Amino acid sequence: MNVLESETSMISPMQTDPHLAPRTPRVSRTVFWIAVLSGALAFGCAPAGETPAASTTQSLPLDLSGLEVVDLSHSYGGQTLYWPTDTQGFRHDELAFGPTDGGYFYSAYSFCTAEHGGTHLDAPIHFFEGGLTMEEIPFDSLLAPAVVIDVTSQSAGNADYLLQVDDIEDWETQHGTIPTGSAILLRTGWSRKWPDARQYLGDDTPGDASNLHFPSYGEEAARLLVYDRGAKLLGVDTASIDYGPSEDFIVHQVAAAAGVPGLENLTALERLPETGAWLIALPMKIESGSGGPARAVALLPRS
Ligand SMILES: [Zn+2]
């Protein structure tokens, strides 16, 4: 898919969303998003009884007051966790800090980071030659209804837990079939261990990734989500969409071959409902990049 095509892509009606009835004409993602956020397309904000003046320059209505924004990203800094083979960590070097000759304050820094550390996106090119690079990833992978699958209890007793097809079937028994176009967020509870590398990764030996232990997606579950459910993104609150002991990174391979990005090292997934939230995950737009830092947030109805 080329970039122009992707940026104007349409979404298919969501099976569980009342805003989109089956006969709804094709609606652009932007318009649909605005409709969801505002609750209704109520133009203008004049007091009751007054007719708002017609204006061709009026902004589209966007009311976030009924929504809660949950930050799903860890901060970048000296404690940010990277894959053990990335030993440089996050560098943030001061270029200036203090008063200037001009009498005003000025601060600036440079930063240096591997693509795959902290809360970051994996582009399909990461594990699939010819796959999309960072700047080519379509918005319907980055801005999508979130489906949260919880395996916290299974993972608590087994650090190498793999999401099973049975877990997905259990989820669907409760919530219905996962809608096409969803962003899947796998909740393991592992973000509580951040930034303790030994706890979070299973091993804190610099340069050695051969003894890692943390839960993630199983291969068959990933195939079901990507191919049968049309998932647009696989996210997780551990370091990888493959579990710690993986040697072939098969879930990365499956997702990348299908053009589905990964979103790793998420946090605060315990604050999300299993359905009803929207994910916005906007990564740094790195030309030809295989991944990069992402600010991920969820929007959900304020309780
Ligand atoms: Zn990555």
> Measured in angstroms, how far is the CA atom of residue 28 from the centroid of ligand 1?
30
* Alpha-carbon gap, residue 213 to 204, rounded angstroms: 11
- Please tell me the predicted confidence (pLDDT) of residue 303: 76
Q: How far is the CA of 272 from the centre of ligand 1 (A)?
A: 23
**Would you state the pLDDT for residue 121?**
98
**Ligand 1 midpoint to CA 108 (Å):** 28
Multiple choice CATH, 69-301, 3.40.50.300, 3.40.50.720, 3.40.50.2300, 3.50.30.50: 3.50.30.50
Q: Which residues of 92-107 are buried (b: 16+ CB within 10 A; e: fewer)?
A: eeeeeeeeeeeeeeee
- What percent of the chain stands above pLDDT 70? 81
pTM of the model: 0.82
Q: What tens digit of pLDDT does each residue of 165-191 get?
A: 999 999 999 999 999 999 999 999 999
> To 5 degrees, how large is the angle CA 160–CA 166–CA 170?
115
Task: Determine the Cα angle at 212 with ends 284 and 163, to 5°.
Answer: 75
Contact 197, 204 (CB under 8 A): yes
Q: Which range, of 25-29, 80-84, 156-160, 265-269, averages the lowest pLDDT?
A: 25-29
Ligand 1 midpoint to CA 143 (Å):
19
- 252 C-alpha to ligand 1 centroid (Å): 9
More confident residue, 210 or 12: 210
* Ligand 1 midpoint to CA 163 (Å): 19
If you write DSSP's letter for every residue of 238-283 in order, what string do you get?
Answer: SS-SS-TT-SS-HHHHHHHHTT--EEES---GGGS-SSSEEEEEEE
What residues does each domain of the chain span?
A: 1-63, 69-301
The single-letter DSSP state of residue 177 is S
259 CA distance to ligand 1 middle (Å): 15
Ligand 1: distance of its center to the CA of 82 in Å? Answer: 9
* The residue to which tokens 């992707």 are assigned: 6
Supply the mean pLDDT for the chain.
86
Q: What is the dihedral of CA 266, 271, 275, 277, to 10 degrees?
A: -70
Compute, in angstroms, the gap from residue 123 CA to the centroid of ligand 1.
Answer: 8
Which comes out higher in pLDDT, residue 55 or 287?
287
Q: What is the pLDDT of residue 230?
A: 98
- List, for residues 28-57, the tens digit of each pLDDT value: 444 344 444 444 333 333 334 444 455 566
CA–centroid distance, 122 to ligand 1, in Å, is 5
Instruction: Give the pLDDT confidence score for residue 120 in this predicted structure.
Output: 98
Is residue 227 pLDDT above 80, yes or no? yes
Q: How far is the CA of 135 from the centre of ligand 1 (A)?
A: 15
Q: Residue 2: pLDDT above 50?
A: no
Confidence label for 114 from pLDDT (cuts 50, 70 and 90)? very high
Length of the chain: 303
- Burial of residue 250 (number of CB atoms within 10 Å: 0-12, 13-18, 19+): middle
Cβ count within 10 A of residue 221:
24
Residue 63 has a pLDDT of: 84
